[in-house]
Amino acid sequence: MRIAILVFALAAASCGSPPAANEQAPVNVVETVPENVATAAPLPRVEPAAPGTPAGLPDDRTPVSEAPFTETSAQGAANVVQTYFALIEEKKYDQARALWGPNGPNAATFEKSFDAYTEYHAQVGAPGAMEGAAGSSYVEVPVQLYGRRSTGEAFRTRATVTMRRVNDVPGSTPAQRRWHIERIEP
Protein backbone atom coordinates (compact mmCIF):
# COMPACT_ATOMS: atom_id res chain seq x y z
CA MET A 1 0.00 0.00 0.00
CA ARG A 2 2.84 2.36 0.83
CA ILE A 3 4.36 1.71 -2.60
CA ALA A 4 1.08 2.52 -4.31
CA ILE A 5 0.81 5.84 -2.44
CA LEU A 6 4.47 6.64 -3.25
CA VAL A 7 3.95 5.87 -6.97
CA PHE A 8 0.79 8.01 -6.97
CA ALA A 9 2.63 10.89 -5.25
CA LEU A 10 5.52 10.73 -7.72
CA ALA A 11 3.14 10.58 -10.67
CA ALA A 12 1.18 13.56 -9.37
CA ALA A 13 4.38 15.52 -8.80
CA SER A 14 5.54 14.92 -12.36
CA CYS A 15 2.32 16.41 -13.76
CA GLY A 16 2.99 19.86 -12.36
CA SER A 17 4.85 22.77 -13.97
CA PRO A 18 8.62 22.84 -13.67
CA PRO A 19 10.01 25.44 -11.36
CA ALA A 20 10.60 28.91 -12.86
CA ALA A 21 14.37 28.45 -12.68
CA ASN A 22 14.12 25.51 -15.12
CA GLU A 23 12.05 27.38 -17.72
CA GLN A 24 13.64 28.16 -21.06
CA ALA A 25 12.88 31.46 -22.76
CA PRO A 26 10.87 31.00 -25.96
CA VAL A 27 12.94 31.29 -29.12
CA ASN A 28 11.62 33.90 -31.49
CA VAL A 29 12.39 32.66 -35.01
CA VAL A 30 11.68 36.09 -36.51
CA GLU A 31 14.59 37.57 -34.59
CA THR A 32 17.02 35.04 -36.06
CA VAL A 33 16.04 35.63 -39.70
CA PRO A 34 17.84 38.98 -40.15
CA GLU A 35 20.92 37.50 -38.49
CA ASN A 36 20.80 34.53 -40.89
CA VAL A 37 20.29 36.80 -43.90
CA ALA A 38 23.13 39.08 -42.84
CA THR A 39 25.54 36.16 -42.50
CA ALA A 40 24.38 34.30 -45.63
CA ALA A 41 26.88 34.25 -48.46
CA PRO A 42 25.77 36.36 -51.45
CA LEU A 43 24.77 34.42 -54.54
CA PRO A 44 27.46 34.37 -57.21
CA ARG A 45 27.06 36.74 -60.14
CA VAL A 46 25.31 35.19 -63.14
CA GLU A 47 27.43 35.46 -66.27
CA PRO A 48 26.19 34.93 -69.82
CA ALA A 49 27.17 31.73 -71.58
CA ALA A 50 30.13 31.95 -73.94
CA PRO A 51 29.48 32.38 -77.68
CA GLY A 52 29.10 29.08 -79.50
CA THR A 53 27.84 27.20 -76.42
CA PRO A 54 24.26 25.90 -76.23
CA ALA A 55 22.91 28.96 -74.36
CA GLY A 56 25.36 31.43 -75.92
CA LEU A 57 25.03 33.64 -78.95
CA PRO A 58 26.35 32.34 -82.28
CA ASP A 59 30.14 32.37 -82.45
CA ASP A 60 30.23 34.78 -85.38
CA ARG A 61 33.46 36.76 -85.35
CA THR A 62 32.37 39.06 -88.18
CA PRO A 63 32.67 42.60 -86.86
CA VAL A 64 29.41 44.50 -86.58
CA SER A 65 29.48 47.84 -88.33
CA GLU A 66 29.73 50.79 -86.00
CA ALA A 67 28.63 53.19 -88.71
CA PRO A 68 25.41 55.11 -88.18
CA PHE A 69 22.33 53.11 -89.09
CA THR A 70 18.83 54.04 -90.13
CA GLU A 71 15.80 53.16 -88.05
CA THR A 72 14.47 51.05 -90.94
CA SER A 73 17.65 48.93 -91.26
CA ALA A 74 18.28 45.50 -89.72
CA GLN A 75 20.48 47.20 -87.11
CA GLY A 76 17.54 49.52 -86.37
CA ALA A 77 15.49 46.40 -85.59
CA ALA A 78 18.24 45.09 -83.28
CA ASN A 79 18.28 48.47 -81.54
CA VAL A 80 14.57 48.05 -80.70
CA VAL A 81 15.34 44.58 -79.28
CA GLN A 82 18.12 46.09 -77.14
CA THR A 83 15.70 48.76 -75.89
CA TYR A 84 13.06 46.14 -75.11
CA PHE A 85 15.32 44.07 -72.87
CA ALA A 86 16.82 47.17 -71.22
CA LEU A 87 13.27 48.23 -70.27
CA ILE A 88 12.55 44.77 -68.84
CA GLU A 89 15.77 44.86 -66.82
CA GLU A 90 14.63 48.24 -65.42
CA LYS A 91 11.17 46.73 -64.70
CA LYS A 92 9.47 49.21 -67.07
CA TYR A 93 7.08 46.55 -68.29
CA ASP A 94 4.44 48.84 -69.84
CA GLN A 95 7.04 50.54 -72.02
CA ALA A 96 8.58 47.19 -73.00
CA ARG A 97 5.20 45.72 -73.89
CA ALA A 98 4.50 48.74 -76.13
CA LEU A 99 7.30 47.53 -78.44
CA TRP A 100 5.24 44.47 -79.39
CA GLY A 101 2.97 44.43 -82.42
CA PRO A 102 -0.79 43.96 -82.25
CA ASN A 103 -0.39 40.24 -81.47
CA GLY A 104 1.76 40.93 -78.41
CA PRO A 105 1.24 39.55 -74.92
CA ASN A 106 -1.75 40.44 -72.78
CA ALA A 107 -1.11 43.50 -70.59
CA ALA A 108 -2.56 41.77 -67.52
CA THR A 109 -0.16 38.83 -67.68
CA PHE A 110 2.95 40.41 -69.24
CA GLU A 111 4.38 41.91 -66.04
CA LYS A 112 3.46 38.83 -64.01
CA SER A 113 5.51 36.66 -66.37
CA PHE A 114 8.66 38.25 -64.89
CA ASP A 115 7.70 37.57 -61.25
CA ALA A 116 9.63 34.30 -61.47
CA TYR A 117 12.94 36.21 -61.78
CA THR A 118 15.01 38.32 -59.41
CA GLU A 119 17.51 39.17 -62.18
CA TYR A 120 16.81 39.31 -65.90
CA HIS A 121 19.51 40.27 -68.42
CA ALA A 122 19.99 39.98 -72.17
CA GLN A 123 22.81 40.13 -74.67
CA VAL A 124 21.59 41.03 -78.12
CA GLY A 125 23.43 39.53 -81.08
CA ALA A 126 23.93 40.83 -84.60
CA PRO A 127 20.72 40.93 -86.64
CA GLY A 128 20.21 38.61 -89.57
CA ALA A 129 19.54 39.77 -93.10
CA MET A 130 16.34 41.66 -93.73
CA GLU A 131 13.68 39.65 -95.56
CA GLY A 132 10.52 40.92 -97.20
CA ALA A 133 7.06 39.42 -97.63
CA ALA A 134 3.64 40.88 -98.47
CA GLY A 135 4.57 44.53 -97.93
CA SER A 136 6.48 43.92 -94.69
CA SER A 137 10.11 43.50 -93.71
CA TYR A 138 11.31 40.95 -91.17
CA VAL A 139 14.57 40.59 -89.26
CA GLU A 140 15.58 37.85 -86.84
CA VAL A 141 17.74 38.95 -83.90
CA PRO A 142 19.46 36.35 -81.67
CA VAL A 143 19.29 37.05 -77.94
CA GLN A 144 20.95 35.39 -74.99
CA LEU A 145 18.86 35.62 -71.81
CA TYR A 146 20.41 35.02 -68.42
CA GLY A 147 19.83 35.89 -64.80
CA ARG A 148 18.44 34.39 -61.64
CA ARG A 149 15.07 32.83 -60.87
CA SER A 150 13.22 33.67 -57.65
CA THR A 151 14.38 30.30 -56.31
CA GLY A 152 17.99 31.51 -56.49
CA GLU A 153 18.80 29.25 -59.44
CA ALA A 154 20.77 30.80 -62.32
CA PHE A 155 19.35 30.46 -65.84
CA ARG A 156 20.84 30.88 -69.31
CA THR A 157 18.98 30.40 -72.57
CA ARG A 158 18.84 31.60 -76.15
CA ALA A 159 15.93 33.03 -78.07
CA THR A 160 15.24 34.51 -81.47
CA VAL A 161 13.29 37.74 -81.67
CA THR A 162 11.48 38.24 -84.97
CA MET A 163 11.03 41.91 -85.75
CA ARG A 164 8.53 43.24 -88.29
CA ARG A 165 7.73 46.55 -89.89
CA VAL A 166 5.36 47.51 -92.69
CA ASN A 167 7.21 48.94 -95.67
CA ASP A 168 6.51 52.45 -96.87
CA VAL A 169 3.34 51.49 -98.72
CA PRO A 170 0.36 53.80 -99.29
CA GLY A 171 -2.08 53.65 -96.38
CA SER A 172 0.44 52.46 -93.79
CA THR A 173 0.65 54.39 -90.54
CA PRO A 174 3.84 55.68 -88.89
CA ALA A 175 3.31 53.14 -86.09
CA GLN A 176 3.14 50.29 -88.62
CA ARG A 177 6.34 51.51 -90.30
CA ARG A 178 8.33 51.24 -87.03
CA TRP A 179 9.99 47.99 -86.01
CA HIS A 180 7.98 46.00 -83.50
CA ILE A 181 8.32 42.56 -81.97
CA GLU A 182 6.36 39.99 -83.93
CA ARG A 183 7.36 36.99 -81.78
CA ILE A 184 10.03 35.60 -79.47
CA GLU A 185 10.90 31.91 -79.81
CA PRO A 186 13.38 29.64 -78.04
Number of H helices, E strands in the chain: 5, 5
- What's the Rg (C-alpha) of the chain? 30
In a domain? residue 97 = yes
Reduced to 3 states (helix: H, G, I; strand: E, B; else coil), residue 102 is coil
In a domain? residue 167 = yes
pLDDT confidence tier of residue 24, bands split at 50, 70 and 90: low
Residue with the larger pLDDT of the pair 52 and 144: 144
Sign of the four-CA dihedral 46, 52, 53, 56: positive
In a domain? residue 40 = no
Quote the mean pLDDT of the chain.
82
Q: How far is it, in rounded angstroms, from Cα 10 to Cα 186?
A: 73
What pLDDT is attached to residue 134?
86
Lowest mean pLDDT among 11-20, 136-145, 171-180: 11-20
Domain of residue 85, residue span: 74-185
In a domain? residue 121 = yes
Chain centre distance of CA 72: 29
For the chain, percent of residues with pLDDT exceeding 90: 59
Q: Are 89 and 121 in contact (CB under 8 A)?
A: yes
* Count of structural domains, the chain: 1
- CATH number assigned to the domain comprising residue 149: 3.10.450.50
What pLDDT is attached to residue 160?
98
List C-alpha distances in Å: 130 to 46, 77, 89.
33, 9, 27
In a domain? residue 80 = yes
In a domain? residue 168 = yes
What pLDDT is attached to residue 42?
79
Residue with the larger pLDDT of the pair 116 and 61: 116
In a domain? residue 21 = no
Tens digit of pLDDT for each residue in 39-63?
A: 667 788 888 878 877 777 777 777 6
Helix (H) / strand (E) element for 181: namely strand 180-185
